[in-house]
Structure formats: structure tokens, C-alpha cells
Structure 1
Amino acid sequence: MWDLLLHGGRVIDPASGSDGTADIAVRDGKVAAVGGGLPRTRAARTVDVSGRLVLPGLVDMHTHIGHGAGYWGLAPEPVAWRTGVTTWVDAGSAGAYTLAGLRRGVADPSPLRIHAMINVAGTGLVGRTGEHHVLENLDVATAAAVAADHADLVRGVKARIDRHTVGPHGLEPLRRARQLADHLGKPLMVHIGYGPPHLADVAPLLGEGDILTHCATGVAAGLVADGRPSETLLRLREAGVVFDLGHGAGAFDFNVLEAELAAGITPVVSTDLHIRSVYGPAYDLPTVMGKAMAAGMPLADTVAAVTARPARALGLPSGTLAVGADADIAVFEPQTGPFPAVDVHGGVREAPLRLVNTATYVAGRRLSPSTAEPPPAWVPLSPAQHQAEADRQARVRTSVRHLDRPEDFDEPFPRPEQADPGDAR
């Protein structure tokens, strides 16, 4: 007997090469069967998903989670249930001094799949920037020991390399991050932004399987020139470096992504979701998927970029609907556009498709709705963002509908003289 059967949807599973109408059966939290015409009588519960896209639970390779534990952290649960993101990778919010807190406060209690990249700075991202200013906090041996204690949680190493973060130390934080990644045998994710150091400085320290995040930013010199990828970027591709979108609050430019796509560079699609970008313009992973499609990525490539490819890059058992896999499933209503999509510089394109999540399952159990707390005091919001947040809170407050007609209830409450004395409750 199956616990759940989703039938009639268009199943896209790039990891197994599947794209077509199929049913998915779930038993004991695992995918039990995938195919057409699975018998509904074998399932305890059936859900008709005809006309919907049924995808593996989405994998967001670049997020910052842990609300209240640092400048950037947000709670993932209020976003996950309405977006289909079942696997969250925290990209360096925690270092050696704070990784245990991320585990106890975020990963262990969460119903989601939580993984992390350890920051080479022991403090992690407690503040907005500057974590590499004090080199004694970048203790490779200590970070390696802590990562070994949390080997099931840690999937890589993260270093933000821009002039604000490294201060006077140039490439030394990156060199230490390289040592740590090599010691752990894990990929190194490097953030680029306002240089120096510039991309050409960073590139020699990256190799096969490492990850260059913010690969479509408009503020890092050396990514594209005259509408074409730079020689440095092309050399990194040839070396097997993984490119990660990492939209964030200020790291996505349509012109850069379009130049990369035209040259055959297709990045992993991630949000860099944090307590600022969640209010826009990133918002969530389906929104960023829409922007990728607006720039020219086909639907199938976009789905692969949020499922199989990030899972493969980090060695995660997620991002697939293969029989035996965890039954992490995202169901979407595909709405045909065009829909406007914006980058962080005001560039506008039209997305051909909008994916509206209608159900998110983790291990075969549907996630319940959850509401987010108001933004903390340090998050700068525009007047429009303030109004949108006020509107959201008002909708939550008034979302309960009170029924007051007798016919609204299956069994009207009896009058006192008709009530059974034993029925008082």
C-alpha cells in the first residue's frame, strides 16, 4: 500500500532524464514508483495534479539562514512551504565559532534538508561585512576540526572576497579558504563583488568542482567585456569551475547573464536569499527561475539548475524523483506569460512562464503554511517594500474567515433543551 499518489502531472526530473506525464507513488517517505497509470486503489491518499508541473524538491545552493543569529539570517520555513525549496544550503553564515549554533538552532529542528558551507572566518557572517579583517579568526586548523565534527552538515567552504570583506589582507583570506577546502576535500565557493581582489586575482586559486558565485553580477570587473565572457571566465569554465547565479540583493544583471548564456555558460540558479533579498528583488527561488528563463534559459535547463546540478555539485542526495529517493516533491501551476522580470539595476525582461507553487512535500509529508516575522530593524526597505510588508501582515491578520450561517455547519448545535448532558464540551 502506498501512502500517497500524485497522478496526472507533468513530471520533470533531469537527474533521470524524465519529462512527461506520470504518476508518483510514495511509501515511508521514499519514492516508491514513477510511471503512467499507477493504480489509485493502492494508495491511502491520492492527489490529482493534472495540468501541474511536478518537480523534485528544489535545491537552493546559496542561502543564508538562521534568523536572529547574524546580520543576514532568515528563517527558511516561511519561504519553503510556498516555493517548493526542500533543500537549503547555507553559504557561509557560520564559521568555526558558530557552526554548532547553526546546527542546534536551525538544521536539527527544521523539517527541511539543511546543509552548510563553513566560512573560513570563525565568526561567520555575524556582521554585514568585514569578517576577514582579523586574520587570527581565519584559523584553518580550528575550522577543519569543527567541520570534521559536523561532517554530515558541511558540504563545502565559503569565502567572500571583495574589498569590503578582506580589508587590507588582499588574497590571504582566499589562500586560507583554499587550504581549508583542500584539507576537507570539499568544494570552495568564492563570492566576488567590488574589487580588488578582482576575478583575475581570484581565478588561479579555483579549480575543478569549486564554485564561483555571483557569476552574473554587474559590479565585479572581469566577467564580461563588450557583451562577451572574458578570457578569465572562459578559462575557469574549461577548468571545471561551477558557476552559481547567487542573485541576492545586488548581484544580478540581465546583460551579464545573457552574455554568458550566449557563450554556452549555464549557471546553477540560486537566490542568495537572506533577510534583505527576501523582500526583493530576489524574493524566492521560483522568482529567480523566472528571471533565468527571461534571460533565455529553457524550462528544462532551469529545472536542472535548481535540482540535479546543485545536488551533484555538492554531493547531495537531493534533486531527483528516482525510485528509492527521498520523496521531496514540488508541485507548481505553470502560468503562461509574458511577465515582467527585473534585475538589481533596473533592467527589465519578460519571463515566458511563472511557476506558482501549490504544494511542497518533504519525505512525502506536505509542508504546512508558516508566516514570517517582520523584518529586523537593520534591514533597509524602500517605501514600496514597507507598504508590501504592511499589506502582507494585514492579509495574515484578516485571513481567517468566520462562518456564521447555520447551513455552514454539517450538524447545527442543538438547543440546550435538546442537548445530551454527556455531550458538554
Structure 2
Amino acid sequence: MADLVITGARIIDPANGLDTSADLYIQDGRIVHIGNGGGFPPGGAEVGRIIDAKECVVTPGLIDFHVHAYEHVTPLGINLDGRCLSRGVTTAVDAGSAGCSTLNGLRKFIKDQSKCRLYAFLHIASHGLASAALAGLKDGGEIDSLNQVDVDGCVTSVRDNRDFVVGIKLRISVAISDNGRNEPEAYRRALQAAGEAGVPLMVHHSFSTVPTVRTPGVLSCPGDLRAGDIFTHAFHWHKGCLLDKETGRVYHDVWEAKRRGVLFDIGHGFGSFAWLEAEACTKEGFWPDIISTDLHTASVDGPAYDLTTVMSKMLHLGMPLNDVIAAVTSKPAAAIGKSQEIGSLKIGNEADITILRLDKCSIELEDTRGETRTITERIVPVRVFRSGVEYPIQEIVPWPNSASKEKCQKACKQYAAYAQSKQSL
């Protein structure tokens, strides 16, 4: 018997090399069969609920690799089920909201209370993002004091929470590091902690005194990242971006980092995705390894909205659909060492499944500068199953949000003024 059968859809499962029309069978919350009928269930056993997914795409449950889900504790925290699961995301990865002093609360009050599966990158600062807001709009943040950058505490916390913590997070920016004075040392400690703990390091690098281009005797980013480490906010437009502003091309050292296995994540957010930078990078063939939202209180009502919106933006830029799906399923799962549990439709795995629809449209979508592009195809979540249980999809209203464009344009001017004030650093 099968509790649930999803029929008639195009199944895309990059981890298993699947792009086919087939039926998907679920029993007791697990995937038990993928096929085109005939001989399953065996012996003519009964089938329970049947969902006709004709003209839809069935994928492994989507993974949002960069969110901030420590709601009511950090200024950036959003509701995990209300903003992720309800939009087709079955697994989210919190990007450094908690440090070693605050991780237990993230586990008890968010992870254990949510239907959406949650993993976490542990912030190198012991208090995480408890008092931190957006880097680049005003001064003040988590590494203003190096007393909080506790390598031993961080490593111990990772080792004690292997089921939950999948990496270490660091933001390097003049705004949050005592005007840049603490950036190199915090970066060095984060690299050390990740190495000792045997986990990847995710780095946010913008408005930074740490150079993008390798410089003898000086730490650079992504130059000193290692294979498996993650450079997030790949298409941001601030100082420290991947583009040489003089040539308009991706720095050689960035390409070299990608070749040696450093991963590049979108991390859209409120200030970290620009159409112009994205177009320049992708024109060269520089595509992200991972697509994520950096969903938080300032980005959730635009300009990021949800994961399928960011996926739609990448589709508009020319990223093939199968690559887009891989960047939100198999690739993020592999990046955190969870390929056996999530990111695929492997037989026997929990039935984390997202059903998507590709809608033709003509809609202007804003980037984080308030600039727009007209997209002609939109990826829309239709249904979502977490461990075989269906949860309701909630529409985003309004989408797109005209107020978001205006908000981003205003912030763009504020970012420019802030950058001007820091030119001497």
C-alpha cells in the first residue's frame, strides 16, 4: 500500500540524475517508489490519496541555505514555518544568528518547535547576532570586541551539537568590527575554529578592509577560504564584491577560489543582490553553487520575498532550470554533509517534497538597489510535504511589493553615504 501517490508530474532530482515523467509513492512518511505505474504497489495493494500534479515539477524539498530564524531574540529573526515552510522550503539553514552562548535557545525555541527542518551555522561571536542589524547602514555589531570571538567556545559548541550545527559563520565588515580594526583577527580565528571543528566556514564579506585580491602577508577573501568554505552574498555590489569595478570582470582570484572548491552562495537579503553585478558575473559564466534568500525581517517583504522568487531571478538570468533546482536541493545538502538525509528523492528517505509550477508572466522584480528587470517566467510553490505530511502554501501579498522598491532605493543612498564616510579605512 502507498499512503500517497503524486502522479503526472515532471520529476527533477539532480542528486539522482532524474528528469522524467513518473509517479512518486509515499508510505509512512517515506519515499518508497518512483516509476511509471505497472507492478507497484505490489500485488495490487491499495493506494491511498492521489495527487494529480500534471504540468507541475516535483522536486526534493527545497533547502534555503541562508536564513535568519531566531525570531524574538535577534533583530533579524523571521518565523521559520510561516515564512519558509509555507513557501515550499522543507529545510532551512540559519546563518549565524546564534553563537556558542545562545545556541541552546535556537535549538529549544526554534528548531524543536518548528515543522521546517533547521540546521545552523554557528557564529564565531559567542552572542551571535543578538544585537546586530544590517552591516553597512550604521556602526555597531558582533565583532566590535574580540573578547566575544571565542575559538575554544565555538569549537566545543560545534562538537557538542553535531546533529544541528553544520558550520561556522563570520561577517567581516567595517560596520561591525570597530571600524575594521578587528576584521583580520576575527577572520583568522574563524578560519582556525572551522579547521579545528572540521566544518565549513561561511563568510559575509562586504564594506570590508579585508581585500578581495590576494595580497602577500595579508588575509584575503575569498583568497584564504578553503575547499568547501562558502562565500555568501555572491552578487552584492558593495566594496568587497566579486567584480573588478575598473574592468567590469570577475577578479582572477575569485575564479581561482571557485576552481579550488570554494562555494558561492547568493544570500540575496536586503543589500546583497544587484542585477548589474549578477548580469556581469553570469555573462562570464560565473554561476552560484547555491541559491538562498538571506531571509530576515528587512528582506522578507521584499526584495527577497522567498526562495522561489530568488530562484526565478536566477532563471531570468539564464541559469538552466535543472541547475536552479540543484542549487536549492542537492548542492546545499552536499555543502553541509547531509546528502544522505536531504536534497534528493532517494528511496527510503523522509518524504520532503516540493511541487512547483512555472508560470508565464510579465512582472518587474526589484533588486536590493531598487533597480528592476521584467521577468517572463516565475517559479511558484504549489504544495509542500515535510516527512510525508502536507502543509499549506501561503501566498505572498503583495508580490511584488511596490514599497520594497522604494525602500531599497532609499537604502541604496544610505549605503552610498556610509561607504563615502569610510573611504579612508
TM-score normalised per structure 1: 0.85
Shift of 1:83: 1.6
Give the alignment partner of residue 297 of structure 1, picking from 319, 323, 333. Answer: 319
Shift of 1:284: 0.3
Q: Relative to 1, partners in 2 of residues 1:74 and 1:122: Cα closer, same or farther, differing over 3 Å?
A: same
Aligned amino acid, residue 228 of structure 2: G
Matches for 1:203-352 after TM superposition, within 5 Å: 203-225=222-244, 226-267=247-288, 268-316=290-338, 317-352=341-376
Hey, what does 1:35 align to over in structure 2? 35
Q: Relative to 1, partners in 2 of residues 1:33 and 1:73: Cα closer, same or farther, differing over 3 Å?
A: same
Q: Is the Cα–Cα contact under 8 Å of residues 383 and 393 in structure 2 kept in the other structure?
A: no
Hey, what does 2:200 align to over in structure 1? 187
- Distance across 2 between alignment mates of 1:252 and 1:386: 13
Give the alignment partner of residue 386 of structure 2, picking from 362, 375, 392. Answer: 362
SS of corresponding position for 1:220: coil
Q: Does 1:78 align with 2:82?
A: yes
- Distance across 1 between alignment mates of 2:76 and 2:406: 22
Aligned amino acid, residue 165 of structure 1: I
Aligned amino acid, residue 13 of structure 1: D
Structure 1 vs Structure 2 CA RMSD: 2.2
Single out whichever of 84-93 and 202-211 deviates more from structure 2: 202-211
Identity of aligned residues (%): 37
- Distance across 2 between alignment mates of 1:61 and 1:333: 21
Instruction: Show CA shifts across 1:316-341 (max 9, x none).
Output: 22111121222100112220234322
Instruction: Show CA shifts across 1:223-267 (max 9, x none).
Output: 113332111211211221000010000100122222222333221
Hey, what does 2:23 align to over in structure 1? 23
Shift of 1:347: 2.7
Aligned amino acid, residue 111 of structure 2: A
Shift of 1:198: 3.1
Aligned length: 379
Q: Is the Cα–Cα contact under 8 Å of residues 87 and 394 in structure 2 kept in the other structure?
A: no
Shift of 1:17: 1.0
Aligned amino acid, residue 19 of structure 1: D
SS of corresponding position for 2:20: strand
- Distance across 2 between alignment mates of 1:138 and 1:57: 35
Matches for 1:365-404 after TM superposition, within 5 Å: 365-368=389-392, 384=403
- Distance across 2 between alignment mates of 1:315 and 1:47: 32
Single out whichever of 313-322 and 200-209 deviates more from structure 2: 200-209
User: Runs of 5+ in structure 1 lacking a partner?
Assistant: 373-381, 389-425
Shift of 1:385: 5.5
Single out whichever of 38-47 and 137-146 deviates more from structure 2: 38-47
- Distance across 2 between alignment mates of 1:131 and 1:370: 34
Higher alpha-carbon Rg: 1
Q: Does 1:164 align with 2:164?
A: no
- Distance across 2 between alignment mates of 1:54 and 1:337: 21
User: Runs of 5+ in structure 2 lacking a partner?
Assistant: 134-139, 214-219, 408-425
- Distance across 2 between alignment mates of 1:94 and 1:132: 13
Hey, what does 2:136 align to over in structure 1? none
Give the alignment partner of residue 60 of structure 1, picking from 61, 64, 76. Answer: 64
